[in-house]
Amino acid sequence: MFAPTLFKNRTILITGGGTGLGLAMGKALAQYGAHLILVSRNAEHLEHAAAALRTSKAEVVTLPCDIRDHTQVATMLDTAFATCGTIDGLINNAAGNIAAPTESLSPNAFLSVVGTVLHGSYFCTQQLGRRWIAAGARGTVLSIVTTYAWSGSAFVVPSACAKAGVLAMTRSLAVEWGRHGIRLNAIAPGPFPTAGAWQRLMPPGLEQAMVARNPLGRVGRPEELAHLALFLLSDAADYINGECITIDGGEWLAGAGQFNALSRLTREEWEALRAQAAGNNYGQ
Ligand code: HXC
Ligand code: NAP
């Protein structure tokens, strides 16, 4: 789909890059020549992912870090620059999420999710941006949010609050840092089955319900999201700044449109509705 050298000599840091969608983006970036820095808490699965990526000849550095802690983020970035010399792009992909009735959540449950998604994305972005600005270097930030960042969603309130914040950060800094040659964009995915999300969040039957209400009648494929990420991080998207691209098969719009339920009408029912409209006499 892209030129094989699209990311040659580019180094991209992916938080949560050892699993799920982060790893899928890492694989696609490696395929197009990128060097990768994978960051998350669990050194074991980071190493496992790096070993798989290195078989495709990619240069991969793994840096264990809990992004909720800004001191760990600072140390991680110092090590990343010392090891790789440069970082060209950041993907804020790491996340925590809890599906539960909000009244049942402890303060720490809220802090744990918001700490990873909002604070963690901010710490990585702010501390890397500060280094880019000081060095006069250009850079690109891509944050993985979700469609309920703007619609909200029952039962995932900490995540919804935090993702809305990440979207606000993206749009704010796109304007503030554009003059430094730093672009920030976001992707809002619909349902993409990953072990991390599905094992934590999906009770039996919910995936089928998501598929049933999706206009395209299916969930997403990780490589579809990865290709969008590659485009937004690449120079081909150099004039796209402060945008959020939804990749959900039309899911969130299907839930929003007042007349969307009419998609179940038969031909006879459409004709009956037309006849009903023709007979309109404004109630007189
Ligand atoms: C209520 C819960 C809970 C649950 C944890 N807690 N799970 N409360 N219901 N199901 C509470 C704990 O009791 C604790 O509070 C606090 O949350 C922190 O939990 P810990 O397990 O101690 O923390 P930690 O090990 O840091 O784990 C953080 C986590 C966990 C967010 C809870 O799920 C995690 O590590 N997630 C990372 C990966 C992830 O979530 N991936 C999914 C992303 S998908 P107390 O008060 O007891 O200390 C996504 C979009 C999906 O974001 C959209 C799908 C369509
Ligand atoms: P995932 O595999 O569970 O990914 C989450 C990653 O975040 C893990 O690699 C985890 O690794 C890392 N992480 C969690 N807490 C961290 C912390 N405090 N510090 C550093 N790293 C941390 O889930 P996924 O489905 O691929 O999700 C990827 C992104 O897509 C997330 O932003 C998610 O919100 C978004 N998204 C997913 C879907 C979907 O349907 N899958 C839909 C909408 C949005 P460690 O455990 O090693 O830390």
Closest CA to 33 of 5, 3, 70: 5
Q: How far is the CA of 234 from the centre of ligand 2 (A)?
A: 23
The residues pairing with 61 across neighbouring beta strands, listed in sequence order, are 37
- Name the closest ligand to CA 207: 1
**Token output for 186:** 């976001």
For the domain bounded by 11-279, which CATH number is listed?
Answer: 3.40.50.720
Give the position of tokens 């299907």: 254
Phi/psi-derived region of residue 147, left when phi > 0, alpha when psi is between -120 and 50, beta in every other case: alpha
Q: How far apart are CA 193 and CA 270, in angstroms?
A: 36
What is the structure's pLDDT at 74? 98
CA of 16 to the centre of ligand 2 (A): 6
Spacing, Cα 104 to ligand 1 middle (Å): 13
Question: What mean pLDDT do residues 17-42 have?
Answer: 98
Contact 210, 194 (CB under 8 A): no
Q: List active site positions.
A: 148
Q: Tens digits of per-residue pLDDT, 94-153?
A: 999 999 999 999 999 999 999 999 999 999 999 999 999 999 999 999 999 999 999 999
- Give the pairing type, strands 11-15 and 89-92: parallel
What separation, in Å, do the N-terminal and C-terminal C-alpha atoms of the chain show?
Answer: 61
**Virtual CA dihedral for 23, 28, 29, 32, nearest 10 degrees?**
160
Return the SS3 of 252: helix
Query: Nearest C-alpha to atom 20 of ligand 2 is from which residue?
Result: 40
Per-residue pLDDT reduced to its tens digit, 251-266: 999 999 999 999 999 9
Q: Tell me the whole-structure pTM to 2 decimals.
A: 0.97
